[in-house]
Chains A and B, each alone.
Chain A
């Protein structure tokens, strides 16, 4: 792991000129982005722009082809497995559908990282797990199995599990997808409260514009492999560039075309009738 500076950097995450290709397709082509400590940052963009790929780069599941992803001024990947795991212990991740271990109860799911990484006595583990479950409103559901939970409840348990090791950074992958308005409200409140009360940093990957406006301190809009706009929700609202306007207003056509790129319709019809 390369240490680039001895001082604690103001930004918890720095992404510097990252290029990443999947096959021949460039997902990121010179991506630059900084996540300040203590903020809730929303990463937004149309489907297929690489938002989840960006999370995978931040957590070291993927390695950039060029450029660097820095966590606290240190390169996340490449590095030894031990170093990577040490970094990951400081990062909590909430997956889109919770990714709870289906053969373990709610309690055991939340206790899982504690049992794996600490030698805490059972009594203390019980207290920590119940405290975390209480903070997400699911203390009474500690005995349930993941199959008995609704989508929103599974995500709240996932959040309790992500918090149990007291991380510095929490990454949320599409936390609002497929939830009813009440569950969305609960998750919104939990993300904001968790960030402010525990003084951690949060990254939320989402394409829910309204939720991002309500929640985030900063919004980064990604398109064509780059950050095309960033700033506070207010600033993004006033940004009059076509791509920002299309995304923030939910317009079907614009710089991001409605039709998948291809040949002219008339030409295609002619070619198909000819063959």
Chain B
């Protein structure tokens, strides 16, 4: 029993220390943000490496989520005689929910872990110490550009995910399942609202982008300078970011639904 209590206390202490360290690190980044915007080249390089290089995976995911969504929802809609609403149904699901969440999860797996590993390896191979000793602030030079690039990239990737997803829905719905193309687009036009639906999805993506990129840079920058430390940082980034995304999704969805 005493072992259980001791282990629980140690786990709680570790959690509290990590949480405290994470908050301190987040506050440490804030003063650098305005200055970082004056160095757009560093940010654009990172947008390329974490955003553009995630495009293929995001588009692939979006397309197949769209096709499966169309196939799965078609059966239910047929039962209720609402096949023409397939487009609107899928569009709302993609834009409000699946696009932001799945794109952010893919980003955490592809780019978040890459950022954590890269920074962890820089720590392990003395590159961060070398920058410090060259009187170059590593937070300003390597952490903040990656953080900002993540915040910019995730909403754009989510938008691309939803767009390609709709292409998948269209191909399966209209060309395979013979839904009327006119009704498909008309229902989308009538149902999907620019601010309420797209705005909601973009806001979620923005929050997920902050979560994913902040966790990646925090875990990587503070990784133990060993091979095990680097691998642990990458794993923790994916696991913790995924939990955050799902938790924030619930909170944001609940707080933006009318009547709640």
Contacts and interface: CB of A to CB of B under 8 A. Distances in A.
Given A97-B125, A102-B125, A88 B134 contact: yes
A57 interface: no
B127 A116 contact: no
A88 B135 contact: yes
B129 A116 contact: no
A99 interface: yes
A16 interface: no
B180 interface: no
A99 B135 contact: no
A261 to B, nearest CB: 26
Contacts of A113: 134-136
Contact of A93 (B127, B133, B136, B141): B133
Given A97-B125, A99-B125, A88 B133 contact: yes
A116 B125 contact: no
Contacts of A165: 134
A96 B129 CA distance: 12
A99 B136 contact: no
Interface residues of B, number: 15
Interface residues of A, number: 21
A212 interface: no
Contacts of B125: 97, 99, 102
B126 interface: yes
A112 interface: yes
A61 B132 contact: yes
B133 A61 contact: yes
A59 B130 CA distance: 11
Interface string B112-129: 000000000110011101
B132 A99 contact: no
B223 to A, nearest CB: 16
A179 to B, nearest CB: 17
B136 A116 contact: yes
A85 B121 CA distance: 24
Nearest to B125: A99
A93 B133 CA distance: 7
Contacts of A26: none
Choose among A95, A99, A100, A117 the residue with the greatest number of B CB atoms under 10 Å from its CB: A99
A213 interface: no
A220 B122 CA distance: 31
Contacts of A89: 135
A201 to B, nearest CB: 16
B153 to A, nearest CB: 18
Contacts of B127: 99-102
Interface of B: 121-122, 125-127, 129-137, 141
30 contacts: A59-B133, A61-B132, A61-B133, A85-B135, A85-B137, A88-B132, A88-B133, A88-B134, A93-B130, A95-B126, A95-B129, A96-B126, A97-B125, A97-B126, A99-B125, A99-B126, A99-B129, A99-B130, A100-B130, A101-B127, A102-B122, A102-B125, A112-B134, A112-B136, A113-B134, A113-B135, A116-B135, A116-B136, A116-B141, A117-B135
Top 9 A-B residue pairs of the complex, sorted by shortest distance between their CB atoms: A99-B126, A85-B135, A99-B130, A88-B135, A93-B133, A116-B136, A95-B126, A113-B134, A89-B135
Interface of A: 59, 61, 85-86, 88-89, 91, 93, 95-97, 99-102, 112-113, 116-117, 161, 165
